[in-house]
Structure 1
């Protein structure tokens, strides 16, 4: 959306039509299904012998692993792989599009136009970095650095704070 608005402004209404927006939304929702079903099945295959109370705001994968008995290394490894694929690839694509946006903005002839374009995109980029940063830190941190309090704080950012900024940007 931002890329087309800045880099191809005259084509915006042709490219970002209702059909494409629906396809993008459906694609985002549907692409999560083949990722979450195997992880859910992995959780169901774990054995639990400790407390059944999760020290977290919601039922997330890392806190569930803390309740499991036995070796969860392979399960945790699969979560790392999924996070790298699901977070790193979109984040890199966003960074590529923003590099093109920045180069387009720098070629604008007026300082006022550059300032307006930067202000339009900077809030979105900040929210993207906040979301991907906190989610990646949550799932990619070494187990030795994980504390329940920090996990809760980070999860607040990528589940509540970031979506709260969505209407603003």
Structure 2
């Protein structure tokens, strides 16, 4: 009998939580709060995609979780680096740093995300899966190709076709001007 996704996830969590937590702590330079957030987000993403994760042999689970954890930390530091660089650039030019985000900005951003997610959900399955894994889950195209059993060129083509379709779809919905 095949174990349920809940059982698979429970085993994954029990077996690897300590390793993921240690990795997150090391990658966040000992920032306990950030490491806890990264660990939680790692397992949240793993839960969301547990049905797509196949057992590729010894070490595949921790390898998958490590990649998710690493991508989350990289994204965190990139976001914070861009914010610092932007503030520094404004200050270097003698300009005021932009005001904090307003409620209207948040509402508009959420609407954009909703429209984009709706457009992604309407893509053909091969394109949708690649977009979700590469763009949303920040997996490398090579990893996605390997797990799907296709060449990296196929993943690149699917991403390219998805970008074109998404550009048209969001333009039709009035999110952005067409190309």
Both structures adopt the same fold (TM-score exceeding 0.5): no
- The structure, 1 or 2, with the larger RCO (C-alpha pairs under 8 Å, 6+ apart) is 1
TM-score, normalization by structure 2: 0.26
- Normalising by structure 1, we get a TM-score of 0.27
